[in-house]
Amino acid sequence: MLGVPGGVALRGGIGGTVSRCVERQQQPGCRRTPAASIQATVRQDEQAEPGTKQGRAPPPLPLTLQLLETPWFRELRFFSMAMTSASLHDVRLYRMDLPDHACPWGLRALQLLQEQHVPFEDHPLRSEAEVAAFKAAHAVATTPQLFAGAERIGGYTDLAARLGVRPESGDVSYIPVLAVFGTAALMTLALAAGLGGFMGIALCLLAMLKLMDVQAFAASFRKYDLLSQRWKAWGGLYPGVELLVGLGILLQPEVAGAGRLIGATALLLGAMGMVSVGKAVFVDKLALNCACVGGNAKVPLGVVSFAENLLMALMGAVMLVAG
């Protein structure tokens, strides 16, 4: 607030600036502005302040946004969330938390319960035996599993739906698969190796990715591979066997029976892979990552994994027939 002659209070507005001269320090050529004119200008500025520079009011918000911003709607939403959380009592979370692998969906469920301020008991399953025993006891195929009293809620997605929260989606990337088969295709063209050369190169590249971290591969592979679930050592042996099959396809040894042995091995690996992937994806409806490009990849287990094993089985069948 600025004091001006005549006892009029002057305040600058959005619409413009009022020229003024103080009586005692009037500069040459500056003319005094009458108090009535100043008051009229101030009134115009005050009328223009709520809007834009032209004095127009801002456009109103859409009706939907206006309703969302009303205090009663916010209170209703908070009350609804509070009632949903209150309906969950005696909540227990069972999740896989192995020394070398913590289930990411279990961690998401844990975080969601904490964010929604739902009291719960955390029951981490620390070994493969505990996980298997829990699944058998409750007749479930996956973890995590949540219970509210005697009611089984389900997994992370079911919990999010129960709490009225949009569930997070898993990280998905097909880049490793495209990189492997794209590189194999380019090498095949450069070497003019044909379909057999393409399959051999692709298998060698896939085996290389698995061998970079055999433990991570075995842990991921064991989640859906039927043989490694019964014979734990198979997860560690698989990358080496796959590499030998790939090299055998590329070398095409002339030793009697070698081609048929390699073909039979490839056919067996492909057939077992199709059965395991088919059961996990189409029967058990598991949302898992495929270990085909290594245990740390984010490639989803699905049609691509099934097709990869199908190609291996077909290549093995061709070699077996050709001898």
Q: Which of 132, 163, 194 is where one domain is finished?
A: 163
The whole-number pLDDT of residue 243 equals: 95
Contact between 97 and 103 under an 8 Å Cβ cutoff? The reply is: yes
Say yes or no: 228 and 124 in one domain: no
Q: SS3 letters for the chain? A: CEEECCCEEECCECCECCCCCCHHHCCCCCCCCCHHHHHHHHHHHHHHCCCCCCCCCCCCCCHHHHHHCCHHHHHHHHHHHHHHHHHCCCEEEEEEEECCEECHHHHHHHHHHHHCCCCEEEEEECCHHHHHHHHHHHCCCCCCEEEECCEEEECHHHHHHHHCCCCCCCCCCCHHHHHHHHHHHHHHHHHCCHHHHHHHHHHHHHHHHHHCCHHHHHHHHCCCCHHHHHCCCHHHHHHHHHHHHHHHHHHCCCCCCHHHHHHHHHHHHHHHHHHHHHHHHHHCCCCCECHHHCCCCCCECCHHHHHHHHHHHHHHHHHHHHC
Residue 189 lies in a domain: yes
Separation between Cα atoms, residue 25 and residue 9, nearest integer Å: 18
The tokens 């095409």 sit on which residue? Answer: 252
* 177-191 pLDDT tens trace: 999 999 999 999 999
Residue 268 lies in a domain: yes
Closest CA to 215 of 230, 236, 232: 236
List the chain residues with pLDDT less than 70: 1-87, 170, 256, 323
The confidence score (pLDDT) of residue 301 equals 85
Q: What do you get for the CA distance between the two ends of the chain, in Å? A: 100
Tokens of 181: 């088969």
Q: In this structure, what token pair is assigned to residue 6?
A: 């005549």
> Is residue 252 in some structural domain?
yes
- What confidence score (pLDDT) does residue 33 get? 46
Domain check: are 180 and 311 in the same one? yes
- Whether 70 is covered by a domain: the verdict is no
Q: Cα–Cα distance between 256 and 29 in angstroms, integer?
A: 115
**Where a domain ends, among 119, 142, 163?**
163
Residues 147 and 202 in one domain: no
- The domain in which residue 239 lies consists of 175-322
Residues 195 and 308 in one domain: yes
Residue 65 covered by a domain:
no
Question: 217 and 262: one domain?
Answer: yes
Cis ω before 167 (30° cut-off from 0): no
Split into its structural domains, the chain has a count of 3
On whether both 9 and 111 belong to a single domain, the answer is no
Same domain for 181 and 315: yes
State the pLDDT at residue 57.
Answer: 54
The answer to whether residues 249 and 188 touch, using CB atoms and an 8 Å cutoff, is no
Domain membership of residue 236 (yes or no) is yes
Q: Do 113 and 179 fall into the same domain?
A: no
Same domain for 121 and 143?
A: yes
184 and 140 within one domain: no
Structure confidence by residue, pLDDT tens digits, 232-245: 999 999 999 999 99
**Contact (Cβ atoms closer than 8 angstroms) between residue 116 and residue 88:** no
Residue 170 lies in a domain: no
Same domain, 216 and 236: yes
Q: Do 238 and 264 fall into the same domain?
A: yes
57 located within any domain: no
Q: What is the pLDDT of residues 39-97, one digit of tens each?
A: 444 445 445 444 444 445 555 555 554 555 566 555 555 444 544 555 688 999 999 99
pLDDT of residue 132: 87
Q: Would the CA dihedral through 208, 211, 212, 213 be positive or negative?
A: positive
- The domain that holds 105 is classified in CATH as 3.40.30.10
Alpha-carbon distance of 31 to 204, in angstroms, equals 92
